[in-house]
A = this chain, B = another copy of it.
Amino acid sequence: MASAAPSNSLVLPDPLPLDSGAALTGVRIAYETYGALNADKSNAVLVCHALTMDQYVASPHPITGKPGWWEQSVGPGKIIDTDRYHVICANVIGSCMGSTGPASNGPDGTPYAMDFPVITIRDMVRAQVAMLDAMGIERLYCVIGGSMGGMQALSLAANFPERADRVLAIATTARHSAQNIAFHEVGRQAIMADPAWNGGDYYASGKTPDNGLAVARMAAHITYLSEEGLTEKFGRRLQDREEKTFGFDADFQVESYLRYQGSGFTQRFDANSYLYITRAMDYFDLAEEHGGTLAQAFAGTTARFCVISFDTDWLYPTAESRHIVHALNAAGAPVSFVELSAPYGHDSFLLDVPALDRVMKGFLDG
């Protein structure tokens, strides 16, 4: 992958304690902000990003040059209105867009690689709360996230209950299922099977495990789309040809699309970061962290919640959101819940779903 210097970053003043028992010192957090913070610092909205995303919510990605990943929802006059809110998004620790991760230099001045400690979703949240401390923001107007971002939003509500007024969790889950873990394990094995991975020590070699990372991305990408969406988008249509070639080229559009997704991903993402972040997601079980009962996780919450699922999301199906909502009900927390109909599967939270906009706006501005 190519790298780019983050536009904003800060170094946490204190060592960051981790769930593993280890601690990380000199943690850098790369972040972007959009819109002005008001005088009493009461309009901050923390957006938490998903597995392969980053802090570039509403500004161009420095490597790909593509628009921010939530540009359609975040900006002046948009659903998350930056004329009104101060939007903050930080690259999670373990990632590769400027925050401390396996590609960062460790204490010995060389990249951590597999000496980077295994982190959890709660560790990612701890780092962001420490960032908010450094920014002097005591209480968020709202914490928002989809997918792994939703895990962080829920984790923040559970572990730092005094830090947010509103929690908006979209297309997410309170725990990774066996099937979720299984797909991630396929991806990790694909990366580790690539000889260029070299036990994680590839930063100096100039040879990155792109083949393995591309396969991991392809497998994961299928889980982000619905079967119906794939059929509608590609069906069995052929790619730039009239007939099947009776060979192993990408005859079908869906093959060509997946290969493109896989190879594009390797331009912007670090394979070791993929290992660490998928591990954090697989370890995520908010109930387990709180005595085995999800309601207990939310016992101390002071926030209002909004939980949104999509009917075609088979990665984190609606049943997982219902499970969260039942726990919030049991904890006596105010929560609104809606399952939206959208054809795009898990990725619906990133795409043009007008009903999502309406629900988000109602919850945020209400």
Contacts and interface: CB of A to CB of B under 8 A. Distances in A.
Contacts of A195: 195
Nearest to A118: B246
A135 interface: no
A113 B222 CA distance: 29
B230 A186 contact: no
A91 B252 CA distance: 27
B227 A179 contact: yes
Interface in A221-243: 222, 227, 230-231, 233-236
Interface string A162-187: 00000000000001111101110110
A258 B182 contact: yes
Nearest to A284: B236
Given A282-B252, A283-B244, A189 B214 contact: yes
B20 A246 contact: yes
Contacts of A178: 227, 230-231, 233-236, 252, 254
B258 A186 contact: yes
A315 to B, nearest CB: 10
Contacts of A175: 236
A219 B177 contact: no
A118 B249 CA distance: 12
A116 B255 CA distance: 22
Contacts of A250: 185
A231 B282 contact: no
Nearest to A278: B248
A215 interface: yes
B212 A193 contact: yes
B186 A231 contact: no
A285 interface: yes
A322 interface: no
Contact of A262 (B189, B212, B231, B236): B189
Interface in A186-215: 186, 188-190, 192-195, 211-212, 214-215
B214 A179 contact: no
Nearest to A196: B195
A144 interface: no
Interface string A98-128: 0000000000000000100110000000000
Contact of A236 (B181, B185, B189, B192): B181
Contacts of A211: 193
Contacts of A117: 246
A356 B152 CA distance: 45
A218 interface: yes
A219 B186 contact: yes
Contacts of A234: 178
A86 B255 CA distance: 41
28 contacts: A19-B246, A118-B246, A118-B247, A118-B248, A177-B236, A178-B233, A178-B235, A178-B236, A178-B252, A178-B254, A181-B236, A182-B255, A185-B254, A186-B215, A186-B218, A186-B222, A189-B214, A189-B218, A189-B259, A189-B262, A190-B193, A190-B215, A193-B193, A193-B214, A195-B195, A248-B279, A252-B282, A314-B314
Interface of A: 19-22, 114, 117-118, 175-179, 181-183, 185-186, 188-190, 192-195, 211-212, 214-215, 218-219, 222, 227, 230-231, 233-236, 244, 246-248, 250, 252, 254-255, 258-259, 262, 275, 279, 282-283, 285, 288, 314
Minimum-distance CB pairs A-B, first 3: A193-B211, A178-B230, A20-B246
